A = this chain, B = another copy of it.
Amino acid sequence: MNEPTTLEHLQAVSDSLESGATMQIKYLLNGALPAQDVARLLESSPPRERKLLWGLIDHTNQGEVLPYVSEEISIQFMKSMDTERLLAVSEHFDNDDLADILQQLPETLVKEVLASMTAQNRARMEALLSYSEDSAGGLMNTDTITIRPNITVDIVFRFLRRHSELPEMTDSLLVVSRTDRFLGMLPLTKLLVADADATVRDIMETECDVIYADQDAAEVAQLFEKMDLVSAPVIDPETKKLLGRITIDDVVDVIRDEAEHSMLSMAGLDDDEDTFAPIIQTSKRRAVWLGINLVTAFTASYVIGLFQDTLDKVVALAILMPIVASMGGIAGSQVLTLVIRGIALNQIGNANAKWLLNREIIVGLINGTLWAAVIAALTYMWFGDMQIAYVIAGAIVINLLFAALTGTLLPIALKKLGIDPALAGSVILTTVTDVVGFLSFLGLATIFLI
C-alpha cells in the first residue's frame, strides 16, 4: 500500500510544478510526507525538477531528508552548500554515512566540518575516515551501549532507564572489560526474561559473531545473511577493543549494491547509477563502454575480412554467419552470469570449479548438438545445400563449446587476477564467441565448400 504512492506523489508534484502550485508542493515536502518519501521523490525526479524541489524544502527540513537520499545525489547537493549549512545538515547523518560522504567532498570543506565537531566526535569521525567505504570500519557506527560483566540484571535495567532513548536497532548490549576489550553480547530478548539477581556474565553470549574493522563489506553482508543478524560488534583487529557496531540497515544497502553490481557492470553501468542523471554525464559514461565494445566489433570484422574471397563466392555464408556468433554469445552469457553469481556468493573454489567446467562442457555439447541439428535442418530448407548445413552445424558445436569454456574459466581467472569479472567478463566473452563463431563457420566453409 505504501510504494505506489511514491509514484503517485511524483505525478501530483509534477502536475503542481507545471501549474505553478508551489504552495501545495511545499506542504508535501515540508512535513506532510515522511523524509524517506521526500528522498524517494528527489531520486525519481529529472535534474531540473530535482533542483526545484530541493529548493522548496526548508533549510531545517533539508537535513532530515538528505540522509535518505542516495549518496551520489546527496553529494551533489552538499557540494553546493556553504560551510554553515553543510555543518547543519551533517548533524542529521549517522557517523558511518557522513564519513562516506566526507571522503568525496573537497578537503577544505571536510576540515571545516571536522573542526566544528566536539573533540570526542572528531576523534570518532577521524577513525571512521581512516577506513575504506567498502570495509567493516566504513559501515560501522559508534552508537553502542556498553556494560560491564560483573553488574546484575537489575542494575542494567536501572542503567538503561537513565537514557532518554536507546539508539535505533539496539538489539543487544555489548559487554566490555575495563580496558574496552569486547567480552560478549547481551541480547535484549535475553535480558528481558532474565532473573534480576543474575549477573551479566552469567547470561551474556560469548560465542557471538564479531567483525574486524578491516574486513570486507561483502564478507560482512554474507555473515549477516548467513547468521540472520540485526547488529554485530566491530573489533579492532590488533587491540581487540570494541570500536562500534554494524546494523542490518547498512548491510541491506551492501546486499542490494552487491547484487545489482553484477547486472549493472555487465552492461557497463556504474554501481551508484542515478537513473535520472543529466544528459552530459550519461553520454560520457555510456560512450566509454561503447568505445570498448567497438574494439570487439572491429576484431570480429577483421576475422570476417580474412575470408573475403569465400564470402564473395557463397553469399549464403554472409546471411547465416550472425546466427553462429549470436548462439555462441547467448550460451556463453548464460554460463558467465551463473559463474559470476556463484563467485559473488563465494560458492566457487578450486574444489568444485573442475566439476563445474566439466558440466558446462557436457551441457555445451548436448545443446550444441541439439541446436546444430535444428539449425542445419532450417539451413537446408532455406538454401537447399547440404554442405552449408553441415558446415554451420559444425561451427555451432565448436562455438558452443568455446562459449562453455570461456564462460566458466574467464570469470574465475579474472577474479584471481583481481579484475572484476562482471565488468570485463561480458566484453571478453563476446569477443571470443564472435571471433570463434566467424572463424569456425567461415573457416570450415573455406575448407569444405570452396
Chain A residues with CB under 8 Å of chain B are: 1-4, 6-7, 10-11, 13-15, 36-37, 40, 43-46, 68, 157, 160-161, 163-171, 188-190, 192-194, 209, 212, 215, 219, 222-228, 230, 248-249, 252, 255-256, 259-260, 262-264, 266-269, 273, 275-276, 278-279, 282-283, 286-287, 289-291, 293-294, 296-298, 300-301, 304-305, 308, 311-312, 315, 318-323, 325-327, 330-331, 333-334, 336-339, 341-342, 345-352, 355-356, 359, 362-363, 366-367, 370-371, 374-375, 378, 382, 430, 434
The 8 nearest A-B residue pairs measured at CB? A259-B259, A7-B349, A318-B318, A263-B263, A166-B189, A267-B337, A14-B351, A228-B249
27 A-B contacts (beta carbon < 8 Å) = A2-B219, A2-B222, A2-B226, A11-B349, A40-B347, A44-B352, A46-B359, A165-B190, A166-B193, A167-B189, A188-B189, A224-B252, A228-B249, A248-B252, A256-B259, A263-B266, A263-B341, A268-B330, A269-B334, A273-B338, A289-B330, A291-B374, A294-B323, A294-B371, A304-B318, A308-B315, A326-B434
Whether A223 pairs with B347 at a CB distance below 8 angstroms is no
Q: In the complex, what's the smallest C-beta–C-beta distance from A436 to chain B, in angstroms?
A: 14
A10's partner among B3, B4, B349 (CB-CB below 8 A) is B349
* Complex-state Cα separation, A362 to B300, whole angstroms: 29
Closest to A48 in B: B355
Contacts of A430 in B (CB 8 A): 326
Q: Which B residues are CB-close (under 8 A) to A219? A: 1-3
Tally of this chain's copies: 2
Q: Quick one: closest B residue to A336, CB to CB? A: B267
Known: A171-B230, A269-B337. Contact between A323 and B297, CB under 8 A?
yes
A40–B10 CA distance with the chains assembled, in angstroms: 43
Question: Do the beta carbons of B327 and A293 come within 8 Å of each other?
Answer: yes
Contacts of A338 in B (CB 8 A): 267, 269, 273, 275
Q: What are the residues of chain B within 8 A of A287 when measuring CB–CB?
A: 366-367, 370-371
Provide the bound-state CA to CA distance between A355 and B219, in Å: 39
Asked whether B286 lies within 8 Å of A192 as measured between CB atoms, the reply is no
Q: Given A169-B230, A289-B330, 15 more contacts at CB 8 Å?
A: A1-B219, A2-B219, A45-B352, A46-B355, A46-B356, A166-B193, A171-B171, A252-B252, A255-B255, A259-B263, A262-B263, A268-B334, A269-B337, A287-B367, A298-B323
User: Across the interface, which residues of B come within 8 angstroms of A6, CB to CB?
Assistant: 346
